[in-house]
Amino acid sequence: MAKLTIVRIDGRFYLDDVWHPIDTTDMDTVIHQVAWDDVAGTGLISFRPRWALPAEAITDFAPFQVYRDRFDAYTPPPPRVRPPPPTPAENIDRRSNEDFDNGLINMLAEQLGITRGQIIADIKRLG
């Protein structure tokens, strides 16, 4: 038992409980959706705007078979793989020179027991 639904504006084709995106740009723009029951061999076309055009019963799915073919040919995109986290060495490479310089100045100030300002002043003076 297969129930098919094509929703033009969303570009979706439903086959029972499964749907895939398909290209519906070539479908008449007044069509909202096409519903088809393979077992009963009947279907219904809903139009937009609904208040202006009544739904139309159909007994031939052939004009919409191209969309079923697109559904059958659908291939899902490959899964997106998250890259591994950077190694510590790569993290150091990514840091800017300013970050590295600030870290070095802080380390020197701590080891020498002087302030950052004194180290920066000496660097500028020697500069």
- 102 or 38, which is more confident? 38
Structural domain boundaries of the chain?
3-73, 88-126
Do the Cβ atoms of 24 and 64 come closer than 8 Å? no
- Spell out a b/e string for 34-50, using b for 16 or more CB atoms within 10 Å of the CB, else e: bbbeeeeeebebbbeee
Radius of gyration (C-alpha) of the chain in whole angstroms = 33
23, 27, 32, 57 from 11: Cα distances, Å: 6, 10, 10, 21
pLDDT at 96: 56
Contacts for 39 with CB less than 8 Å, ≥ 6 apart: 1, 2
Q: What is the pLDDT of residues 53-104, one digit of tens each?
A: 899 999 999 999 999 999 999 988 888 888 888 776 666 555 555 566 777 8
pLDDT at 120: 81
Q: What is the pLDDT of residues 10-26, one digit of tens each?
A: 999 999 989 999 999 99
